[in-house]
Amino acid sequence: MFIVSFLRVIKFSIQDIARNIWLSIATIMILILALFSVNMLLTVDLVSKAAIESIRNKIDVNLYINPSADENAILALKAEISNINQVKDVTYISKDEAMNIFQQRHQNNPEILEALRELGENPLTPALVIKPKNIDQYDSLINALNAIDNPIIQSRNFEDHKALLEKVNNISHKVSEAGLIISGIFILITLLVVYNAIRVAIYTHRKEIGIMRLVGASNWFVRAPFLFSSVIYAFIGVLAIILIFYPFLSLLQPYLEAFFIDYQINLISFFNSHFLYIFGLEFLGAVAINGIASLIAVGKYSRV
């Protein structure tokens, strides 16, 4: 008996949706927009995290060494710096290694390589490349490095990575905030639209509802189809967003790859590996929001 009733609830629910098909479509559209903005928010979050991570990896401090410095003095300096608290590691790049790196980097640029050859000698300076342990200690690291007074240090290049990092952080916060507000607005609109759709569905079916009540249909049987409709909306909405968002991500991917030259980022594989988590949660969220909206509508309008 329960299964029979349950199947009838599903049947009635589908009939409800079909009878107001355009309203149903509009409702699902709004739901899709809301889901899209939520997924966009997630994407922005992923991308900005990747951007910050890639900058963090790039942050290092170069100490240029006087080319005529003695090898032992350089190694002593390296050891001294290694002992600084905030330092993760120090790499010594000799004149020749610097040359190798330079040539490799410009291997597709024969003019520069030609100019270098004409120069006859290696113009590059050896360097100590220092990676900080923690980017938040960047300032104190710089101070510590500035405090070292060693004649073999030719120059110190402390690019202001921190400011850049802060900028990225700021931007991503602002984008996330905007995304959060937009998602919130869409979720609110979804609530209202689903509420309205269920209200109209109840109005369209007021005669049936009246008869149901008259012949002794239970309350849950009168209400369940409308609640179930909202679950169907959620299901179709999430299904649609899956179909829409993957192509969208593959459109985005080449731009991301161009932007993060030496940093691996793949949104599609992220969404793939968290598929159930992301879309399952979104489905549950949509069911919850739609459920609340239709519960209110049913509670308010289905008393006939």
**18, 147, 215, 276: which one binds other proteins (CB under 8 A):** 215
204 is a contact residue toward other proteins (CB under 8 A): no
Taking the complex as a whole, the smallest distance from the CB of residue 203 to other proteins amounts, in Å, to 15
Quick one: which segment of 30-38, 105-113, 213-221, 293-301 binds other proteins (CB under 8 A)? 213-221
By CB under 8 A, which span of 115-123, 129-137, 189-197, 217-225 interacts with other proteins?
217-225
CB of residue 287 to other proteins, shortest distance in Å: 25
**First CA to last CA distance, the chain:** 25
Residues that contact other proteins, how many (by CB under 8 A): 19
Q: Please, which residue, 15 or 62, has the CB nearer to other proteins?
A: 15
Q: Which amino acid is at 87?
A: V
Tell me: does residue 18 bind other proteins (CB under 8 A). no
36 in Cβ contact with 282 (< 8 Å): no
Beta strands, E only, the chain: 61-65, 87-93, 127-132, 153-157
**Would you say 51 or 212 has its CB closer to other proteins?**
212
Q: Which pairs count as long-range contacts for 170-174, CB under 8 Å and 24+ apart, including other chains?
A: 171/48, 172/44, 172/45, 172/48, 172/49, 172/51, 172/52
Pairing state between β 127-132 and 61-65: antiparallel
Residue 181 DSSP SS3: helix
Which of 92, 102, 158, 221 binds other proteins (CB under 8 A)? It is 221
List b or e across 171-193, with b for residues whose CB sees 16 or more CB atoms inside 10 angstroms.
ebeebeeebeebbeebbeebbeb
**Binding residue (CB under 8 A) for other proteins from 57, 134, 218, 272:** 218
- Binding of other proteins by 161 (CB under 8 A): no
Catalog residues that contact other proteins under the rule CB under 8 A: 1-2, 4-5, 8, 207-208, 210-219, 221-222
